Amino acid sequence: MKVAKFGGSSVASAEQIRKVAAIISEDHDRKIVVVSAPGKRDKNDSKVTDLLIELGELSLATGEAESELQAVLERYRSIAEELKIDGDIITLIETDLRERLATNRHNPGVFMDSIKASGEDNNAKLIAAYLKSTGLNATYLNPKDAGLLVSDEPGNAQVLPEAYDQLIKLRDHEGVIVFPGFFGYSPEGTLVTFPRGGSDITGAILAAGIQAELYENFTDVDSVYAANPNVVNEPVEIKRMTYREMRELSYAGFSVFHDEALIPAFRKGIPVCVKNTNNPSTSGTMIIAEREYFFNPVIGIAADDGFSTIYVRKYLMNREVGFGRRLLQILEDEGLSYEHIPSGIDDTSVILREHQLTDEMQERIIDRIKNELHADDVYIEKDFSMVMIVGEGMHNTVGVSARATAALARAHVNIEMINQGSSEVSLVLGVHQEDADRAVQALYEEFFGASDGTIQ
């Protein structure tokens, strides 16, 4: 059995949904289909999820959002009419949305989760109806009925272990299951959404739950590329990569997956194939547990913006027992998570996501570090990018760091920080945001300049 997930661009219009139907029909092993809410039909369009957020927020603020509701319904109506689906499906979707809007609003987080999740839920109903009309034995299945139990954390749900005892039963279902992505239900019956990449997470959970032979993730690109095509012209395609490589690259800004999205599938050792809905005959990118390493130790280069550095200096810091623990305790007290901690004997830097910091919080952190840790100097710098070089082959290859730093020197990019994990799967280079694209281009030329167009 296979689980096939189709992203927003793959289900954005009637034309795209016809392609989805053809893909499902050509392989009878595709038994579970996970769908997103309709995405953008073109660059000037709006995602249905964005329309739903606008609808929910205005409804919370004013109690009235009829025109916003009609905008959402019009997207579904246009798809249904072009697919020639019975008009009852739009009545069903409208009834569902009005019922969600009429629910108790005392908890805005729960209310917004319900509104946002309707995008995937109603699209799954529509797509199931269309598949049926083409002669496929297709059934819409709600996550609650499937037993997809998650923690009660609106916007940050985590699958509960007992969910897998229920999901395994889906193996016995006849025909094709059309399953909405992005949300599950708490043990108390409350709808709760996943974090970013929610539909990818749903697909990975279902693949793990039914012990699928393959999790196919259909998107709008032929494969995963070695660098961002918006930064590097025609980067090489990656044909095979490991789970660890994918997670490292996703963390560093690869847009194919959010870095946590595939973990349920990874833990069960289920291979993942990234394929193109618009070109399904291509082999795509296989993400697997292990792979052979050929001539290039590096498989990809990525960069992500939006980092800040808390710089702390104190003479004889290295001899002070507990200094690091107390420094991190201050961050914990503020509810902050950190990304990297490069350090020297008398100084250390804590790198964290910039969006976590408010101006008030920054002043408080600096004051506490100065007064409680008696630091000689403390300041915060913003607007950093983390550029990541990733590859399992780096572990046994001499000179990767030297090549990277030399390439950046030739490009006149100043390196503010270097960090390499003990696994040596990735090398992180901190640079100023304005230098990030130039850094990626220089590193790509260094490691892939002579490539033939693919990485096997």
Q: Which positions make up the binding site for ATP? A: 5-8, 219-220, 225
Structure tokens belonging to residue 367: 């004051």
Contact predicate 327/418, CB 8 Å: no
Round to whole Å and give the CA distance between 342 and 365. 19
Half-sphere exposure of residue 228: CA atoms within 13 angstroms, side-chain side? 20
**Rounded Cα distance, 422 and 246, in Å:** 17
- In sequence order, the 6+-apart residues with CB closer than 8 A to the CB of 169 are 147
Annotated binding-site ranges: 5-8, 49, 120, 219-220, 225
Classified as helix, coil or strand, 349 is strand
Q: How many CB atoms lie within 10 A of CB 452?
A: 8
Distance, in Å, from the CA atom of 10 to the CA atom of 218, rounded to the nearest integer, reads 7
Number of Cβ within a 10 Å radius of residue 144: 14
Tell me which DSSP letter residue 94 carries. H
How large is the angle between the packed helices 400-410 and 436-448, nearest 10 degrees? Answer: 130
The answer to whether 448 and 440 are in contact (CB under 8 A) is no
User: Which tokens hold the place of 62?
Assistant: 């004013």
Euclidean distance between CA atoms 41 and 256, whole angstroms? 18
Residues 6+ apart with CB under 8 A from 221: 256, 274, 276
Candidates 79, 69, 92, 4; CA nearest to 38 is 79
| CA atoms within a 13 Å half-sphere pointing along the CA-CB vector of 351 | 22
